[in-house]
A and B are shown apart, each in its own frame.
Chain A
Amino acid sequence: MRPAQLALLLALLAGFTLIQIGPLFSLFSKAFLDADGSFAGLQNYADYFGSPSLSVSVRNTVDISFVTTLCSVLLGFAYAYALTRTNMRGKAFFRYTALIPIFLPTVVHALGLVYMFGKQGILTGLGVETELYGRFGIILSEIIYTFPQAFLMFVVALEVADGRLYEAADSMGVSAAGKFFGITLPDIRYTVVNVFFVCFTLAFTDFGAPKVLGGGYNVLATDIYKQIAGQFNMNMGAVVGTLLLLPAVLSFIAGRAVSSRNASTVNAKATRLVIRECAWRDAVFFVFCALVSACFLFLIAVLFMGALTEYYPYNMALTLRHFSFNASTGGIGSYFNSLWMSLLTAVFGTAFAFVYAYMMEKTDGFAALRRYGKLLAALPLALPGMVVGVSFIFFFNARSNPLHFIYGTVVILVLSNILHYFAVPFITATGSLKKLDREFESVSDSMRVSRLRLFLRVSAPLSLTAVLEIFMYYFVNSMVTVSAVVFLYGAKFKVASIAITHMEEAGDISQAAAMSLLILFINVAVRGAYALAAKCTERKIL
């Protein structure tokens, strides 16, 4: 590796260490301190493990994470399969509806579920008896939250297929099930493992759903909340925070084990898979996708009803008055702040994540450094927003930190978003870079073309789809994020997602719905622009 590359690699690692390990260290070191700040060893852990509620929280967390993951993996797979391996109608439409949940603040998911399954809910009115508050509600909400992630990853994996394998199987008279279990599943096993861990970790650390719908159902994430924002016991909060890192570390280890055996890729000779006609299969999948989409569209319907009627459900007169927001929540200004913050996050986050992935994937030598870099990239998935938020305060607000001037500005919000949502962009970028010919680097070296030029002229343009994907992911998530930002936004810079939480807390559902609708609009617009841009670049490159 050349000095310039090494310098860049070190700079990236140092930067990422600074915004991740620095804050985490300043929070998690408190796990070993007592209330007075003196060293307590493992006493806090002993206390926490000694309390009877712990085993309950751990069991509950594992339980809901596991069930959620199972459902999301199955649903996400079936949905992606329908879009990639059947001839059903309406694929373009279904592709969009699957993403609705990530366009909306999580509060809206909960609202939708209450309107559906709550004591006064539509389905409850039809006689569906459920206990929304507790395990059932959390799992439903987590499924809505993790489904789009699972779906997106499966679509990418299922879109590429080697038609020759299926033709060979056909010629041998292999049954449909045989082909499915013999070709399709083995082909995407790496993705299945990845999706499993992503969904599991997201559900494991999510706090939004348990807070709104959890009732008395304790999970580790509510334990953190109770410690930090209820009893103001940062030490115990840090203890729980370290426990939440476990699945990410495990998945990192498992991921290494899997990827070392993941040599099979679709090679250049692969032929396109021709999907065979099968009316009943298309019909079954169509019904399935329609049902899932209907659930998500219902969320939007709830928003429209809430935002555009005087007082739902008692006064259904149409009005636009809910769009004039209270000044204390930042008013409409918070919406533009959100746009600005999301744009900055998307621009800088995309650049950082892509360059970071490039350095991990396309350089060689210094294996230890790169292994460390990959671990850094895997951790953020496991960081609950609250941990990011509080640790950023401890770290960046310290007087001795030369960077403390960014505290309370948009910069710290952008940094926290880049960190908080880093894992998925990193996976996307890595996946895309893996597909590029490894010899590009060798060729450009032989031609004395600098790696920088190769990156700008070849690697980045060829990964444009992934770059756009990452941009969109960062933008959309920054628009709806609450958990980390709630600790970090400054008095002069309020954001829309926080405003929605406040409106909802104040019982002003209509304003919350109106603001959510505005967020939905911009997110759909960004997604649309992405689809358009991706189509153009694909036409140009492929």
Chain B
Amino acid sequence: MSYLEVRNITKRFDRQTVLANVSADIEKGELVCVLGPSGCGKTTLLRIVAGLETADGGSVYINGRDCTSLSPGKRNFGIVFQSYALFPNMTVAGNILFGLRHKGKLGREEMRARVDEVLRMVDLSEHRNKYPRQLSGGQQQRAALARAIAPAPSYLLLDEPLSALDAKVRVRLRGEIRAIQRALGITTIMVTHDQEEALTMADKIIVMNNATVEQAGTPREVYDRPATPFVANFIGAMNFYPANEVVCAIRPERIEISNAPGSCNVAADIKGFEFKGAMTRIYGILPGQTEICVDISSDRADEIGLCERARLYLRIPEEHLIKYPPPAARVM
């Protein structure tokens, strides 16, 4: 049995269904990303796991115990919000202590030691006496994380923790959060709409759309074998084209390319291309006006002397081709 189980959760706000029969399993020590576009119900799912929201139906099991109607205080979790929700009238240390004081079991010295420990973990030791307004966004984020993990919760919930930060800081913090999570071995659920974040950080990704789970699996599984066209399209780029009563899908980087026909047997006209640093993306048109894009390394692009309106030849490797039943074609 999984450490954290969500069974058939249903939730409605007014007449809108936010979660329709959602289930998920999370193993102990895992970092699970709930990924989806805004409005797909992922934050609501997180809040139901936290007990901050009550489900209309379904159950939540933690460590085999039915916690569906347990109040948040009894579930022993830590949470970090997109807004951080740091108490502006308390210092960083004060914010952390605020939660510790109520553990009740810790003595004064132990509490101080614990504050030092978590501050070291998030690398904020020298900022312990600053107020939130005196910290940068990334520092505030780490302070919020420190506050969440200080009481040694049995699981950690992160609600879009990085989305308010700028790109550089975000990338660095991904690694830091992941490192801390690994070090503590703490079961973590992180909600995000950023597929790159999910791919880089997660042990397992749960992709949600329109109040339902589209797919759950490791980043590799989700990327290589997207269960639905939605997942395929939402994570990474994907080419779709109809063929023989099914819809075929192929990742741009899987397509091989050459200047002359040969093993590459599909002719395509280049419409344009984008230099993206290490990679270059080519936009082409297949016979029958199907659009297609191909990613190749920029070195290879130099080799073939890429230029607009030229003709190229492609090979679409069968082993990487994903086939979907035709009604799904309309989704794209």
> Which residues of B lie under 8 Å from residue A268 when comparing CB positions?
83
A442 and B52 contact, CB distance less than 8 A: yes
B326 within 8 A of A: no
Q: Considering the chains assembled together, what is the distance between the CA atoms of A163 and B90 in angstroms?
A: 28
Tell me if B72 counts as interface (CB < 8 A to partner A): yes
Q: Does B234 contact A (CB under 8 A)?
A: no
B133 beta carbon closer than 8 Å to chain A = yes
A261 in contact (CB, < 8 A): no
Residue interface bits A111-134, CB-to-B below 8 A is 1, else 0: 000000000000000000000000
Judge whether B98 and A541 touch: CB under 8 Å.
Answer: no
Residues of A within 8 A of B103 (CB): 448
- Neighbour of B72 across the interface among A442, A461, A540, CB < 8 A: A442
B150, closest chain A residue (CB): A447
CA of A440 to CA of B147, assembled, Å? 13
Residues of B within 8 A of A453 (CB): 102
Residue tally, chain A, CB below 8 Å to B: 22
Judge whether B102 and A450 touch: CB under 8 Å.
yes
- Kindly state whether residue A525 has any CB partner on chain B within 8 Å: no
Inter-chain contact A446/B71, CB cutoff 8 Å: no
A449 and B87 contacting across the interface, CB-CB below 8 Å: no
**Is A399 in the interface zone, CB < 8 Å from B?**
no
- Segment 440-473 of A: residues with Cβ below 8 Å from B: 440, 442-450, 453, 457-458, 461-462
Chain A nearest CB: distance from B221 CB in Å? Answer: 31
Question: Shortest CB–CB separation between residue B177 and chain A, in angstroms?
Answer: 17
User: Which residues of B sit under 8 angstroms from A447, Cβ to Cβ?
Assistant: 78, 98-99, 102, 147, 151
Query: Known interface pairs A2-B71, A448-B73, A542-B133. Does A442 touch B85 (Cβ–Cβ under 8 Å)?
Result: yes
How far does the alpha carbon of A439 sit from the alpha carbon of B80 in the complex, in Å? 9
Interface flags, B217-260, vs A, CB<8A=1, else 0: 00000000000000000000000000000000000000000000
Q: Is B26 an interface residue (CB 8 A)?
A: no
Pick the contact of B89: A2, A446, A458 (CB < 8 A). Answer: A458
B89 CB → nearest A CB, Å: 5
The one of B50, B75, B79, B98 that contacts A457, using a Cβ cutoff of 8 Å: B98
CB distance from B93 to the nearest CB of A (A): 14
A445 to chain B, nearest CB (A): 4
Give the tally of cross-chain contacts (CB within 8 A): 73
Asked if A437 and B85 make an inter-chain contact with CB atoms under 8 angstroms apart, the answer reads yes
Q: Out of B50, B87, B102, which one reaches A440, CB within 8 Å?
A: B87
Residues of B within 8 A of A450 (CB): 102
How far, in Å, is A332 (CB) from chain B's closest CB? 42
Report Cα–Cα, A422/B72, bound state, in Å.
34
The one of B74, B78, B83, B153 in contact with A439, judged by C-beta atoms closer than 8 angstroms, is: B83
Contacts of A541 in B (CB 8 A): 88-89
- B-chain residues with CB within 8 Å of residue A445 when the two chains form the complex: 50-52, 71-73
What's the Cα separation between A458 and B47 when bound, in Å? 22
Counting chain B residues whose Cβ lies within 8 A of the other chain, the interface size class is 20 to 34
Contact string against A for B residues 82-121, beta-carbon threshold 8 Å, 1 for contact and 0 otherwise:
0101011110000000110111000000000000000000
Contact residues in B for A462 (Cβ distance below 8 Å): 87-89
Nearest B-chain residue to A269, judged by Cβ:
B164
| B98, B147, B148 pick with most chain A CB within 10 angstroms | B98
Known: A445-B73, A446-B148, A453-B102. A439 touches B89 (CB 8 A): no
| Chain A contact residues: helix, strand, loop or mixed | helix
Contact residues, B9-64 vs A (CB, 8 A): 47, 50-52
Could you say which residues of chain B place their CB within 8 Å of the CB of A448? 73-74, 76, 99, 102-103, 151
* Chain B residues near A444 (CB-CB < 8 A): 98-99
The answer to whether B89 and A443 touch across the interface, beta carbons within 8 angstroms, is no
Complex Cα–Cα for A61 and B67 (A): 59
Shortest Cβ distance from B174 into chain A, in angstroms?
Answer: 22
Interface string of A510-542 (1 = CB under 8 A from B): 000000000000000000000000000000111
A453 to B99, CA, bound (A): 11
A183 vs B73: C-alpha distance when bound (angstroms) = 43
Residues of B within 8 A of A442 (CB): 47, 50, 52, 72, 79, 81, 85
Within the complex, the shortest CB–CB distance from A255 to chain B, in Å, comes to 20
Interface centre among A442, A447, A458, A542 (most CB of B within 10 A): A447
A46 to B144, CA, bound (A): 65
In the bound complex, residues from chain A placing their C-beta under 8 Å from that of B147 are 443, 447
**Nearest chain A CB to B81 CB, angstrom units:** 4
Q: How far is the CA of A291 from the CA of B319 in the complex (A)?
A: 85
CA distance A448 to B133 in the complex (A): 25
Distance to closest chain A CB from B125 (angstroms)? 21
Residues of B within 8 A of A457 (CB): 87, 90, 98
**Given A449-B99, A458-B87, A462-B89: A443 and B71 within 8 A (CB)?**
no
Give the complex CA separation of A71 and B75 in angstroms: 56
List the A residue with the shortest CB-CB distance to B81: A439
Q: Is the CB of A443 within 8 A of B79?
A: yes
Chain A residues, Cβ within 8 Å of B81? 437, 439, 442-443
Q: Which residues of A contact B85 (CB under 8 A)?
A: 437, 439-440, 442-443
CB pair B98 A449 closer than 8 Å? yes
Contacts of A449 in B (CB 8 A): 98-99, 101-102
In the assembly, what is the distance between CA of A445 and CA of B73, in Å?
5
B95's nearest neighbour on chain A, judged by CB, is: A443
User: How distant is the Cα of A440 from the Cα of B148 in the complex, in angstroms?
Assistant: 13
Interchain CA distance A465-B15 in the complex, whole Å: 39
> B73 contacts which chain A residues (CB < 8 A)?
445-446, 448
Least Cβ–Cβ distance between A152 and chain B, in angstroms: 24
Contacts of B52 in A (CB 8 A): 442, 445
Chain A residue contacts of B133, Cβ below 8 A: 542
B78 touches A446 (CB 8 A): yes
A449 CA / B71 CA spacing, docked (Å): 12
Report the minimal beta-carbon distance from B144 to chain A, rounded to whole angstroms.
8
Contacts of A458 in B (CB 8 A): 87, 89-90
Distance in Å: Cβ of A449 to nearest Cβ of chain B = 5
Minimum CB–CB distance for A265 against chain B, Å? 13
Q: What's the Cα separation between A221 and B72 when bound, in Å?
A: 52
B51 contact set on A, CB distance < 8 A: 445
Q: How far is the CB of A539 from chain B (nearest CB, A)?
A: 12
A243 CB, min distance to chain B CBs, angstroms: 36
A457 to B99 Cα, complex, angstroms? 12
Q: Which A residues are in CB contact (< 8 Å) with B76? A: 448
B244 to chain A, nearest CB (A): 50
- For B88, the chain A residues whose CB sits under 8 A away are 462, 541-542
Chain A residues in 8 Å Cβ range of B102: 447-450, 453
Q: Given A458-B87, A462-B89: A446 and B98 within 8 A (CB)?
A: no
> A450 CA to B102 CA in the complex, in Å?
8
Among B81, B85, B103, find the residue whose CB has the most chain A CB atoms closer than 10 A.
B85
Give A274 Cβ to nearest chain B Cβ, in Å.
Answer: 20
Give Cα distance in the complex from A446 to B150, angstroms. Answer: 12
User: Contact flags (1/0) for A1-32 with B, using CB distance below 8 Å?
Assistant: 01000000000000000000000000000000
**B112-139 CB contacts (< 8 Å) to partner A:** 133
Docked Cα-Cα span, A368 to B147, in Å, equals 35
CB within 8 Å of B: which A27-75 residues: none
- 10 A-B pairs with least C-beta separation: A447-B99, A439-B85, A445-B72, A448-B73, A439-B81, A446-B79, A437-B85, A458-B87, A443-B85, A442-B52
Interface on A for B, CB 8 Å cutoff?
2, 268, 437, 439-440, 442-450, 453, 457-458, 461-462, 540-542
9 contacts between A and B (CB under 8 A): A2-B71, A437-B81, A439-B81, A442-B47, A444-B98, A448-B102, A449-B98, A457-B87, A542-B133
Given A440-B85, A445-B72, A462-B89, 6 extra CB contacts under 8 A:
A442-B50, A442-B79, A446-B73, A447-B99, A461-B89, A462-B87
Binding site for A on B (CB under 8 A): 47, 50-52, 71-79, 81, 83, 85, 87-90, 98-99, 101-103, 133, 147-148, 151, 153, 157
